[in-house]
Amino acid sequence: MSSLSRMVILLLAMPLAGSLVTLIIGKKKLVLASLLPSISAFLTLVLSFLIAWQSTNTSQAAVGWEWFTIGKQAIALSFEFNRLTIPLMVIVATISFLVHIYSISFFKGDQSLPRYYSTLGLFTFSMLGLTLSGNLLQLFIFWELVGACSYLLIGYYRQKPEASAAATKSFIMNKIGDSGFLVALMILWSLGGLLEISSLETSSISIEIKTLISISILLAIFSKSAQFPFHTWLPDAMEGPTPVSALIHSATMVAAGVFLITRLHFLFTPATLQVAAIVGAITALIGGLNALKEKDIKRLLAWSTLSQLGLMIMVAGNAGFNASFVHLLSHAIFKAGLFLVAGILIATYSNYDVKNLSTQKKPAWLVITVSILCLSLMGLPLTIGFLSKEFMAAQVQSTIFLGIFFLVSLISILYSVRLLAVVIPFGKKIELEQIGKVSISGFLFLPVIILAIASVWIFYSPSPVSAQWISEQWNLKAPDNIHTIFGIVWVTGGLLFAYFMARNGEINRIGRFLPAIPFDHFLQKIFIRPVFFMADTSRRFDALVLDKGLHGIAYINFSIALFTRWFDENIIDGITDFIAYISKLIGNLLRQFVAGKIQSYIWWTVLAVIILFMIMR
């Protein structure tokens, strides 16, 4: 066993062990319940860096063991290391660690802390497993596990009925998509057990089958990444704790869909990609427009996540898989940061409303971090958002989608300015109140600062407008000058436009002009009501027809059984008893002669002799 495979086992075991230990000992010692998982998350982070370093140095692409065998088909437990899995693994471990330490302060004194931390550990384990999996069956298991963890964490505040409803909703919507994944697995199995991703890549599958498989997988991707028709679960999922939203519902789990489409890009045929691109575009627009209307800061961020995910799926649909993967990584960094900031704001000012939050005074460090993160979300030059968006734009060939791309990025600038307005009072002098004071606990402060600093371009490339190594590493077409210049002009222009709107106080009013799309209502009417109706009808059918029929059959059976019993007891047993009675009678008669009395024997003998004499004579 190589040192790499040992490290992978350790990487997966670390968060899992933290999760179990917390669950066992956490109830008694609340301090340990938050510290131990954080330590294990830190070790996971260190291990992930070690694995990245080791696998890059030794250029070992995979480790694997035989898992089990069905028939002649051996299923392997394999982990792959390539340009997709390693960066995502590092990002997942990093953000997980930051969220762990952030939660120490965020949940201080919460009694159900052990439950939170153990689920978080389980999530980290599953997400790392999902990232590294080299086998589709194994990936599917982790895929389900992250869904389950998401369900548990959305419903963390058990006493809130909205939270449990949102958890159920996300779970059911994810299950609908996961059925697609299952179908794809079945098709691949029927093709001779092509579950290993590396072997799948080199196998030749006919284009029709490929379309079938990729459409099924696309369903799973749509539900996990909250794409249109499934997008409504993501804003509702904001009922969960804010750190969870940062980790699961912006940075990692929802990004698993984009990761999967990139990982399995060879399966996707032009027809499927077209579907993905259209759905992605629709989602990006829906998310962006809803973000303009939304008042709740967390839901605003959720809609913006939706919009960004839509963009990634759209670009992936235009064959720019690696570009959307790069954007996935940068989006994970700045969106997690934004969510963590939102958590601080909500906790300090106990207010959700974007407009109300903006009337209070903020400390300088918060202003700066929010500004950097928001600029990154807008995709302004000097941020990683610009770099990754630029790469995405360069991959899109079709004019229509390029148009949608720039439209969505303009919308993203507008809603980002709404976020920015929370910390920076634009325009007219507003009297800022000093209500709450932001508690500068190191645990809250540090993750946000780290993520904000990580959003600055300088750590990724010396030039703020292009990154040579990214395009080399991921085979990306470097954006040409026209793209870059147009991008800079467009984004800066958009920012200026948004700034003037914000100065006039118009920015929060845009939403009013947008039509409200009650999508949940449609879903309710189209899917949920018929399902309930069908369920009710079948219940009645069961009760009236099936149950009655069953009862009738049972009654007949019972009657037959009663008759049979009577027949057995009286006729058959009677015959047997009669025979036994006769035998007993004969026996009793005969045994009188052999009663054990010697003298009677003699008597009978003598009698017999006399009779014999009489006969003989």
Q: CA 516 → CA 498, 512, 528, distances in Å?
A: 22, 9, 21
Output 458 or 602, the one with its CB closest to other proteins: 602
Q: Shortest distance, CB of residue 599 to other proteins, whole angstroms?
A: 5
Output 364 or 598, the one with its CB closest to other proteins: 598
> Residue 581, interface with other proteins (CB under 8 A)?
no
Distance, CA of 195 to CA of 187 (rounded, Å): 10
> Residue 614, interface with other proteins (CB under 8 A)?
no
Count residues binding other proteins (CB under 8 A): 8
Among the residue ranges 149-157, 218-226, 386-394, 596-604, the one whose residues contact other proteins (CB under 8 A): 596-604
Output 579 or 602, the one with its CB closest to other proteins: 602
Candidates 596, 613, 614, 616; binder of other proteins (CB under 8 A) is 596
- Closest to 311 measured CA to CA, from 335, 336, 287: 287
Output 350 or 599, the one with its CB closest to other proteins: 599
> Residue 590, interface with other proteins (CB under 8 A)?
no
Output 503 or 584, the one with its CB closest to other proteins: 584
What's the longest Cα–Cα distance across the chain? 156
Contact string (CB under 8 A) for other proteins, positions 538-577, x = contact = ----------------------------------------
> Residue 589, interface with other proteins (CB under 8 A)?
no
Candidates 69, 590, 599, 613; binder of other proteins (CB under 8 A) is 599
Among the residue ranges 207-215, 312-320, 478-486, 592-600, the one whose residues contact other proteins (CB under 8 A): 592-600
Among the residue ranges 334-342, 397-405, 524-532, 599-607, the one whose residues contact other proteins (CB under 8 A): 599-607
Count of alpha carbons within 13 angstroms of residue 206, beta-carbon side:
4
Residue 517 main-chain phi, psi, to 5 deg: -105, 105
Candidates 602, 608, 611, 612; binder of other proteins (CB under 8 A) is 602
| Residue 437 φ/ψ region, left for φ over 0, alpha for ψ in the -120 to 50 degree band, beta for the rest | beta
DSSP state of 561: H
Candidates 597, 608, 611, 612; binder of other proteins (CB under 8 A) is 597
Task: Please list every residue from 221 through 260 that binds other proteins, using CB under 8 A.
Answer: none
Q: Shortest distance, CB of residue 554 to other proteins, whole angstroms?
A: 46
| DSSP-based three-state secondary structure for 28 | coil
Distance, CA of 405 to CA of 314 (rounded, Å): 9
Q: Shortest distance, CB of residue 606 to other proteins, whole angstroms?
A: 7
Place of tokens 């997690």: 336
Distance, CA of 242 to CA of 239 (rounded, Å): 8
Distance, CA of 22 to CA of 35 (rounded, Å): 9
Q: Shortest distance, CB of residue 568 to other proteins, whole angstroms?
A: 28
* CA-derived radius of gyration, the chain: 36
> Residue 611, interface with other proteins (CB under 8 A)?
no
Candidates 545, 554, 556, 606; binder of other proteins (CB under 8 A) is 606
- Closest to 335 measured CA to CA, from 288, 375, 377: 377
Output 204 or 592, the one with its CB closest to other proteins: 592
338 and 416 Cβ atoms separated by less than 8 Å: no
Q: Shortest distance, CB of residue 577 to other proteins, whole angstroms?
A: 18
Residue 360 main-chain phi, psi, to 5 deg: -110, 155
Place of tokens 């704790």: 241
Q: Shortest distance, CB of residue 579 to other proteins, whole angstroms?
A: 19
Output 516 or 586, the one with its CB closest to other proteins: 586
> Residue 111, interface with other proteins (CB under 8 A)?
no
* Count of beta carbons in the 10 Å neighbourhood of residue 274: 14
Output 565 or 597, the one with its CB closest to other proteins: 597
Among the residue ranges 74-82, 355-363, 401-409, 594-602, the one whose residues contact other proteins (CB under 8 A): 594-602
> Residue 583, interface with other proteins (CB under 8 A)?
no
Q: Give how far the C-alpha of residue 396 lies from the chain's centroid of Cα atoms, to the nearest Å.
A: 28
> Residue 368, interface with other proteins (CB under 8 A)?
no
How far separated are the first and last CA of the chain, in Å rounded? 111
Q: Return the C-alpha torsion angle 381, 382, 386, 388, nearest 10.
A: 150
Residues with Cβ within 8 Å of residue 178, at least 6 apart in sequence: 140, 143, 144, 147, 220, 223
Output 516 or 607, the one with its CB closest to other proteins: 607
Distance, CA of 66 to CA of 68 (rounded, Å): 6
Q: Shortest distance, CB of residue 598 to other proteins, whole angstroms?
A: 5
123 and 247 Cβ atoms separated by less than 8 Å: yes
Candidates 589, 598, 614, 615; binder of other proteins (CB under 8 A) is 598
By CB under 8 A, name the binding residues for other proteins. 595-599, 602-603, 606
